[in-house]
């Protein structure tokens, strides 16, 4: 019963937030999130309100219902909202692992990566942010340099996601046991894409990012 009520709330806030993004209403968006935070956790506001609203807007852009400039303005409003929400994420039982993270070369979609970083750090994972548009060789070099247990790669476009196969190839060639975890829109569209690219796992959202660390490193999750 409680879950159903929560869902309804998240859904209605998502709709309101989406409408404020469509209207480029910076202050309106802020107000909606302030209200949402009175009823939902920061994690729920991030993962059930803000992220899906922006992704829905991406669908509207793909359907040519809105212009790229509108998407751009919406993503700036969302970026601001995310930066206010991230410090509110709760701490999780610590996982003493090291990871490097970045978006794959050619991909400048940074928001998902930044959210994942905050969640992982809240769970005690030591994360080195390699930034955006990182070459496959650099992911591996930095992972070795940092003695990382995991490489996290964000790819939001299909053609950039395909480059992740190069990271997997280098890891195999060098016989490195670093775990390769991927996430972003193309993996949500095609559930088997990560396997085809040679990644160990794909993750749908930042919270699952924590669970996958447990699963891959400790065999549970």
Rounded-to-integer distance, Cα 213 and Cα 67, Å: 38
Whichever of 16 and 206 has its CB closer to ligand B12, that residue is 206
Give the start-end residues of each E strand in 46-143. 98-103, 126-129
Binding of residue 105 to ligand B12 (CB under 6 A): no
- The answer to whether 97 contacts ligand B12 (rule: CB under 6 A) is no
Strand stretches in 51-155, DSSP E: 98-103, 126-129, 150-154
SS3 label, residue 181: strand
Distance CA 92, CA 44 (A): 15
Residue 108, judged by CB atoms within 10 A of its CB (0-12, 13-18, 19+), counts as exposed
Q: According to CB under 6 A, which one of 22, 24, 37, 71 is a site residue for ligand B12?
A: 71
For ligand B12, which residue of 138, 158, 165, 176 counts as binding (CB under 6 A)? 158
Please select the residue that binds ligand B12; options are 108, 145, 218, 221, rule is CB under 6 A. Answer: 108
One residue of 10, 85, 110, 171 binding ligand B12 per CB under 6 A: 110
Position 136 contacts ligand B12 (CB under 6 A): no
Count of residues in contact with ligand B12, rule CB under 6 A: 40
Q: Is residue 122 near ligand B12 by the rule CB under 6 A?
A: no
For the beta sheet containing 179-183, the strands, ordered from the edge strand earlier in sequence to the opposite edge, are 126-129, 98-103, 150-154, 179-183, 201-203
Binding residues for ligand B12, rule: CB under 6 A, are 47, 51, 54-55, 57-59, 61-62, 68, 71-72, 75, 79, 106-113, 115-116, 152-154, 156-158, 181-186, 203, 205-206, 209
């Amino acid at each position: 019963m409680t879950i159903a009520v929560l869902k309804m709330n998240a859904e209605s806030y998502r709709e309101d937030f989406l409408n404020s993004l469509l209207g480029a209403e910076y202050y309106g968006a802020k107000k909606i999130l302030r209200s949402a935070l009175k009823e939902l956790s920061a994690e729920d506001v991030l993962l059930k309100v803000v992220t899906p609203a922006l992704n829905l807007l991406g669908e509207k852009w793909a359907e040519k219902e809105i212009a790229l400039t509108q998407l751009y303005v919406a993503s700036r409003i969302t970026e601001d909202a995310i930066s206010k929400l991230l410090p509110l994420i709760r701490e999780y039982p610590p996982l003493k692992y090291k990871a490097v993270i970045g978006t794959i070369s050619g991909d400048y979609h940074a928001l998902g990566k930044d959210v994942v970083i905050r969640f992982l750090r809240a769970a005690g994972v030591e994360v080195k942010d390699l930034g955006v548009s990182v070459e496959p060789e650099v992911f591996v070099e930095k992972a070795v340099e940092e003695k990382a247990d995991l490489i996290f790669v964000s790819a939001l476009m299909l053609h950039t996601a395909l480059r992740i196969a190069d990271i997997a190839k280098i890891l195999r060639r060098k016989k490195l046991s670093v775990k390769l975890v991927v996430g972003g829109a193309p993996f949500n569209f095609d559930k088997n894409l990560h396997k085809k690219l040679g990644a160990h796992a794909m993750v749908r959202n930042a919270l699952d990012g924590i669970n996958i660390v447990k699963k891959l490193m400790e065999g549970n999750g």
